[in-house]
Chains A and B, each alone.
Chain A
Amino acid sequence: MMGNLLEQMGVDRDRIHFSWISSAEATKFVDVVKEISDKVRALGPNKKFVKDYIK
């Protein structure tokens, strides 16, 4: 529901990931992080929910 609300608010779905990884599942962790990085890299820098500190 949280992901859906963020999506409704205009955040790209590919930036929101949920996963359940046990401490014994190192390879799964690597796979998930890789997948997330690839998807987010494809989207480019996020402009939403980011504070602009450059004054």
Chain B
Amino acid sequence: MDTCIEKIRAIGADLLAEGTVEKVIGFANGSIPMATRPVALTSEKDMDKLVFNSVCGLNLANYVSKNSLSKKEGKIAVVAKGCDARNLVTHIVENQISRDQIYIIGVPCTGMVDKRKIAALFEDEITGFEEDNDTLTVSSPSKTETVKKSDVLRHNCRVCTHRNPPVYDVMAGEPVEEQTLDQPYEDVDQIAAMDPDARWAYFEKLTENCIRCYACRNACPLCYCPTCFVDESGPQWVGKGQNETDVTTFHFLRAFHCAGRCTDCGACVEACPMGINVRDFTRKLNKDALELFGWEAGLDLDKRPPLDVYSPNDPNDFIK
């Protein structure tokens, strides 16, 4: 994957030099090892700041919302993995941006690593992170560990079936092989197999550490409402404290707002400071969208999302 970065930088520099785009949104190194941050670059001289590696876990589509893309601004180029590109498609389908306002630099992706899994191998702070194809070398003051990237992939990347961007203007590398999975929703089925009280207990346990920081919402490209239901004070839809009913209500509604739209990019889990796998909520919705409507979000610019259109074939046995 490291080989892509030179190509990304070259494409970005060309686009800025030609004036095709006004800025390039991509990943830059963060202030600590094993972290990246999103950047918007306006000069081709800054292109060497761009990086692309296995810790680019956020979703850059989040930074191209209606709010940041006013009519006055020129075209924006976005470095997009499979999921970022799918979220850009979702933005276009939902009329947040128009196709000609963005230039998608597609990057074939082999997955991002689960930083918590790597951090768990160490007792002290990680001070170094090197990547060479499938081999990651992580070091701390006390030791150096070499791990295989495939062993520490994030769960959403392990079950990802759209590693290549479905829509792009230019690709920064050869498409990678897509995965085929026998049981893509094994995690959802495992929860579904429990009895109702056990499921309730499972989700209560899952969210018990939630501090209501809304990082999951802020990291999510789907959450672009000017005022989120949790921030509204008149009417106040949901309590703001850590009461478990309020916490569960928040997670349930946040997830449901992503129904038929979620691309399972994993940015919510990546952003969570408490390590809550909030994907347990959205995964169920993704599974239903696929099973009930044959729908996966962000693959086609011309198809309307299932909850946005009426079809006589819609499943309706639940309505009396």
Residues of A within 8 A of B (CB): 1-12, 17-20, 32, 35, 48-51
Residue of A whose beta carbon sits closest to that of B292: A1
Residue of A whose beta carbon sits closest to that of B246: A51
Query: What is the interface residue range for chain B against chain A?
Result: 20 to 34
- Name the distance in Å between A43's Cβ and chain B's nearest Cβ: 10
Within 8 Å CB of A4, what residues of B?
Answer: 284, 288
Partner of A10, one of B201, B288, B292: B201
In whole angstroms, what is the CA distance A51 to B318 when docked?
A: 28
Asked if A9 contacts B200 (CB within 8 A), the reply is: yes
Majority-rule SS of B interface residues: helix
Residues of B within 8 A of A (CB): 188, 191-192, 196-203, 239, 243, 245-246, 248-249, 252, 255-256, 259-260, 281, 284-285, 288-289, 292, 307, 318-320
- Name the distance in Å between B305's Cβ and chain A's nearest Cβ: 12
In whole angstroms, what is the CA distance A50 to B245 when docked?
A: 6
Asked if A18 contacts B281 (CB within 8 A), the reply is: no
- Name the distance in Å between A51's Cβ and chain B's nearest Cβ: 5
In whole angstroms, what is the CA distance A32 to B320 when docked?
A: 8
Partner of A2, one of B192, B203, B259, B292: B259
Within 8 Å CB of B191, what residues of A?
Answer: 8
Q: Evaluate whether A18 and B319 lie within 8 angstroms (CB atoms) in the complex, with A1-B288, A10-B196, A10-B202 already known.
A: yes
Asked if A5 contacts B256 (CB within 8 A), the reply is: yes
- Name the distance in Å between B278's Cβ and chain A's nearest Cβ: 13
Partner of A49, one of B245, B281, B307, B318: B245
Residue of B whose beta carbon sits closest to that of A9: B203
In whole angstroms, what is the CA distance A6 to B196 when docked?
A: 10
In whole angstroms, what is the CA distance A17 to B284 when docked?
A: 19
Majority-rule SS of A interface residues: loop
Within 8 Å CB of B260, what residues of A?
Answer: 1
Asked if B199 contacts A6 (CB within 8 A), the reply is: no
Within 8 Å CB of A49, what residues of B?
Answer: 245, 248-249
Within 8 Å CB of B192, what residues of A?
Answer: 8
Residue of A whose beta carbon sits closest to that of B200: A10
Residue of B whose beta carbon sits closest to that of A16: B318
In whole angstroms, what is the CA distance A9 to B252 when docked?
A: 9
Within 8 Å CB of A51, what residues of B?
Answer: 239, 243, 245-246
Within 8 Å CB of B256, what residues of A?
Answer: 1-2, 5
Partner of B285, one of A1, A18, A20, A32: A1
Within 8 Å CB of A12, what residues of B?
Answer: 196
Within 8 Å CB of A6, what residues of B?
Answer: 252
The 9 closest A-B pairs by CB, nearest first: A10-B200, A10-B199, A19-B320, A8-B284, A10-B196, A51-B245, A1-B288, A18-B319, A9-B203
In whole angstroms, what is the CA distance A28 to B27 when docked?
A: 57
Asked if A20 contacts B319 (CB within 8 A), the reply is: yes
Asked if A5 contacts B252 (CB within 8 A), the reply is: yes
- Name the distance in Å between B262's Cβ and chain A's nearest Cβ: 11
- Name the distance in Å between A20's Cβ and chain B's nearest Cβ: 6
Asked if B245 contacts A5 (CB within 8 A), the reply is: no
Within 8 Å CB of B318, what residues of A?
Answer: 3, 18
Asked if A10 contacts B245 (CB within 8 A), the reply is: no
> What are 21 A-B contacts defined by CB distance under 8 Å?
A1-B288, A1-B289, A2-B259, A3-B318, A4-B284, A5-B281, A5-B284, A8-B199, A9-B199, A10-B196, A10-B197, A10-B199, A10-B201, A11-B196, A17-B320, A18-B318, A18-B319, A18-B320, A19-B319, A48-B200, A51-B246
